[in-house]
Structure 1
Amino acid sequence: MDAAERENHAAMKRWSKDAKIGEGTYAVVYRGRQSSTGRQVAIKKIKVGQFKDGLDMSAVREVKYLRELKHPNVIELLDVFSSKQNLNLVLEFLESDLEAVIKDRSNVFKPADIKSWMAMTLRGLEFCHRNFVLHRDLKPNNLLIAADGQLKIADFGLARDFADPGHKMTCQVITRWYRPPELLFGCRFYSTAVDIWSVGCIFAELMLRVPYLAGESDMDQLKTIFRALGTPTEQEWPGHTSLPHYVVVGNFPKSPLQFLFTAASADAIDLLSKFLIYEPRRRISAKDALYHPYMFSLPYPTHPSKLPKASAPMQPRPVHIEETEGQGAALSAKATKRKASEDPFENSKPVSRRLEF
C-alpha cells in the first residue's frame, strides 16, 4: 500500500455513515459521524462509475473550491476519501436551509431577521468573489442553516473561478427563478453580477415569502422578469439586443417596487433595486451591498441564535451532480445584531490561489 492509499484508508476510518438523508442520479448523502468524537457530519457519496470519462467535473470543482474557501458563511469541507467506485465528501452537518424556513408558515419574519440572513449571505458571497469564485447557483435551498443560526452557502457543484474577462463560460447555470436575464439571453461573458441578481431574488423572496420571479420556461422567465421590472430599453441596458439568444418578449411598463413591497423600508427598496439592475456592470457588488445604508439603519440585524428556524427537520435534499459546461447541458431542476460599527468582513482570510489566464 503506497502513501496515498494509506492516507485514503485512514480517512475512511475517521468517518462512519448512518442514515441516508438525500439521493440523486449521481450522488447520495448520508448522515454520518466522526469515529473519534461522535461529531455529526454529512457524507456526500458521488458515484464515479456513472460517468463515461471518469469523475464529473462538477464534483472536482466542489472539492477544489471548498478546500480553498474557509469562511463562517461557507459550508466547511472536512475530508475527502474514495471507496470502491465512489468519491466521498465529508461536510459539516446542517439540518435546515433557508427555503424550509421561508416555507414554514409558523414563522413570522421581522425586518431585522431578513437583514441578518442577507448580511450573512453577502458576507459569504463577498468572500467567494474576493477570491475569484462564482457560485452560479444561489437560491434559498442552497443556503443552509446551522444549529446556532449561522447561514452558510453550500453546493458549489456549478461554481467556477474567473480571472480573464474574455473567457467564455456557459449560460446554462443558475436555477431558472434566480437566473439573470443576460444568461437567459445567452450571454457567455459574465462575472460576479450573475450571483448578485440571484441574491436580489432571494431578498425579494424573504420579504414576500414566495418566489419573486417564478417562470415556467426560459421564455416565460423573461416575461415574468419584464412584467415585474419593465421591459429594458437600449439606454437602460446597452447592447442587450445583440446577445446570442435575444428575442422580443413584449413591451411591459416599469412598475415601482414600492407597489409590491409595501412593508419594505426605503433603504431596503433601494438595495433591492440595485441588485436587480438589468445592466450587469451597474449592479451593486457584494462588498458595496454590505456597506449600503440598509445594513446600518434600524433595526439592526437579529443575532443568528435568535433567528426563526424551521419547525421540523429539513426534508431529505435531492442531490444532483449537474452536467458541466463542457457537456453543454441545461441546469437540472433541484427539489433546495450586527452593529453598524462592525467590520462586515470579519473572520475571513484571503485565499492565495494561482489564477489561470
Structure 2
Amino acid sequence: MDAVERENFARQKRWAKEQKVGEGTYAVVYRGREVSTGRRVAIKKIKVGQFKDGLDMSAIREVKYLRELKHPNVIELLDVFSSKTNLNLVLEFLDSDLEMIIKDRSLVFLPADIKSWMAMTFRGLEFCHRNFILHRDLKPNNLLIASDGQLKIADFGLARDFADPGYKMTCQVITRWYRPPELLFGSRYYSSAVDIWSVGCIFAELMLRTPYLAGESDMDQLKTIFRALGTPTEQEWPGHTKLPDYVPVGQFPKTPLRDLFTAASADTLNLLSKCLLYEPRKRISASEALHHPYFFAIPHPSHPSKLPKCSTQMAPRPLEEVDGNVDMTSAGPGVKAAAPSKGKLKRKLTSPMEESRARSIARKLDFTKQANSP
C-alpha cells in the first residue's frame, strides 16, 4: 500500500455510514457520523464505474466548487475519499430545506423571517459571485436549513465559473419555475443575473407560500412570466427578439406587483422588482441587494435561531431522475434535487468544448488532498 492509498484508507475510516436515505442509478446517500466525535454528516457515494468517461460532470462540479467556497451560507464539503470504484463526498448534515418550511402550513412567517432568509441567501450568493461562480439551480429545496437556523446554498452540480464573459454556456440550466426569460429564449451568453432572477422567484414564493411563476412547459413558462410581469418591449429589454430561441408569445399587460403582494412594504416590492427585471444587465446584483433599504428598514431580520422550523423531521426521499440522468443531490439531509414537475434539467454537457474542459478539470482534481485545502 503506497502513501496515497494509506492516506485514503485513513480518511475512509474517519467516517461511518449509517442509515441509507436515498438511492439512484449513480449515487447512494447515507446519514453518517464522524467516528471520533459523533458529529452527524451526509455521505454521498457516487458510483464512478457507472460513467462512460469515469466521472459524472455534476460530481466534478460539486467537488471543484465546494472545495473553493467556504462561507457560513454555503454548504460545507468536509471530506472526499474513494472506496473501491466509488467516490464518497462527506457533506455537513442539515435538518431541512426552505421548500419544506414553505410547505409546512403549521408555520406562520413574519416579514422579519422572510427578510432573514433573503439576507442569508444573498450573502451566500454574493460570495459565490464574488468568486466568479454561477450556481445555476437556485430554488427553495436547494436552500438548506441547519439546526441553528442558518440557511446554506447547496447542490453545485450545475455550477460553473464565469470569469470569461465571452465563453459560450448552455441554456439548459435552472429548474424551469426559477429560470429567467433569457435562458428560456436560448441565450448562450449570460451572467450572474440568471441567479438573481431565481432569487426573485424564491422571494415571491416566501411571501405567497406557493411558487410564483409555475409553467408547465418552456413556452408556458414564458407565458406565465409575461402574464405576471407584462410582455417586454424592445425599450425594456433591448435585443431580446434576436435571441436564438425567440418566438412571439403574445401581448400581456403589465400588472403592478402591489395587486398580488398586497401586504408587502414599498421596499419589499422595490427589491423584488429589481430581481425580476427583464434586462439582465439592469437586474440588481447580490452585493447591491445586501445594501438595499429593505434590509435596513423595520422590522429587522429575525435571528436565525428564532426562525420557524419544520414541525416534523425530514423523511428520507428517493433520488429523482432528471432527463434520464440522476440528480445526485436529492436524497435526504444535506442534499436536495429538482422535482420533475418543476421542469426537467439536463445534466449532459452540450458542447464538445465544455466536454473537453470538463475532462481537463477531472484530471486536475486530486481527491487524495483534504477537501478543505486551498
Work out whether residues 67 and 373 of structure 2, in 8 Å CA contact, stay in contact via their aligned partners in 1: no
- Distance across 2 between alignment mates of 1:89 and 1:327: 27
Q: How does 1:226-237 map to 2 (within 5 A)?
A: 226-237=226-237
Normalised TM-score (structure 1): 0.90
Does structure 1 residue 324 correspond to structure 2 residue 348?
Answer: yes
Distance 1:141 1:18 in 2: 23
Kept in 2: contact 1:41–1:91 (CA 8 A): yes
CA contact (8 A) 1:125 1:286 kept: yes
How far apart are the structure 1 equivalents of 2:351 and 2:147?
38
**How far apart in 1 are the matches of 2:305 and 2:64?**
30
Contact 1:172/1:325 (8 A) holds in 2: no
In structure 2, the residue matched to 1:5 is 5
Structure 2 residue 68 is the aligned partner of structure 1 residue 44: no
Q: Does 1:274 align with 2:274?
A: yes
Is the CA contact 1:169–1:325 (under 8 Å) kept in the aligned structure 2?
no
Contact 2:17 2:30 in 1 (8 A): yes
1:311-343 superposed Cα distances (whole Å, 9 cap, x missing partner): 111232444146232479xxxxxxxxxxxxxxx
Is 2:339 the counterpart of 1:315? no
| Match of residue 336 from structure 2 | none
Write the distance in 2 (CA, Å) between the matches of 1:196 and 1:303: 24
Distance in 2 (alpha carbons) for counterparts of 1:290 and 1:194: 17
**Aligned-pair distance for 1:144?**
0.3
Partner of 1:180: 180
1:136 aligns with 136
Aligned to 1:286: 286
TM-score (norm 2): 0.86
Quick one: which amino acid aligns to residue 179 of structure 1?
R
Report the alpha carbon displacement of residue 25 of structure 1 after superposing the two structures with TM.
3.0
Which residue of 1 is the match for residue 35 of structure 2? 35
Distance (whole Å) between structure 1 residues aligned to residue 229 and residue 77 of structure 2: 39
1:34 and 1:41 in contact (8 A); partners too: yes
Q: Is the 8 A contact 1:223 1:250 kept in 2?
A: yes
2:300 & 2:291 partners in 1: Cα distance? Answer: 13
Partner Cα separation in structure 2 for residue 46 and residue 9 of structure 1: 17
**Residue equivalent to 2:82:** 82
Report the counterpart of residue 119 of structure 2 in structure 1.
119
SS in 2 for 1:88: strand
Look up the match of 2:356: none
Distance 1:318 1:294 in 2: 38
Contact 2:196 2:283 in 1 (8 A): yes
Using the aligned pairs only, state the percent identity. 81
1:74-114: CA deviation from partner (whole Å, max 9, x where unpaired): 00000001111211000000010000000000000000000
Q: Supply the distance in 1 between the matched residues of 2:156 and 2:124 (Cα, whole angstroms).
A: 13
Flag as ranges the 4+ runs of structure 1 deviating above 4 A: none
Which residue pairs with 2:110 in the alignment? 110
Deviations 1:253-305 (A, max 9, x none): 00000000001000000000000000000000000000000000000000000
Give 1:103's aligned amino acid: K
Q: Distance in 2 between matches of 1:318 and 1:255?
A: 39
Instruction: Give the Cα separation in 2 of the matches to 1:124 and 1:186.
Output: 27
Structure 1: runs of 5+ lacking an equivalent: 329-350
**Aligned partner letter, 1:93:** F
The answer as to whether partners of 1:58 and 1:324 remain within 8 angstroms in 2 is no
Tell whether the 8 Å contact from 1:228 to 1:254 is kept in structure 2 after alignment: yes
In structure 2, do the counterparts of structure 1 residues 162 and 352 end up closer, same or farther at CA, with 3 Å as the change threshold?
farther
Aligned positions, number: 331
Q: Return the offset for 1:190.
A: 0.6
Q: Secondary structure at the match of 1:323?
A: coil
- Give the direction of change, closer, same or farther, for the CA distance of 1:125–1:304 in structure 2 (3 Å limit): same
Report the equivalent of 1:189. 189
Root-mean-square deviation (Å)? 1.5
2:90 & 2:188 partners in 1: Cα distance?
33
The range that moved more, 4-13 or 148-157, is: 4-13
The AA in structure 2 aligned to 1:110 is L
Shift of 1:174: 0.3
* Displacement after TM superposition at 1:53 (Å): 1.2
Counterparts in 2 of 1:352 and 1:44: CA distance versus 1, 3 Å: closer
How far the C-alpha of 1:23 sits from its partner, in A, is 2.6
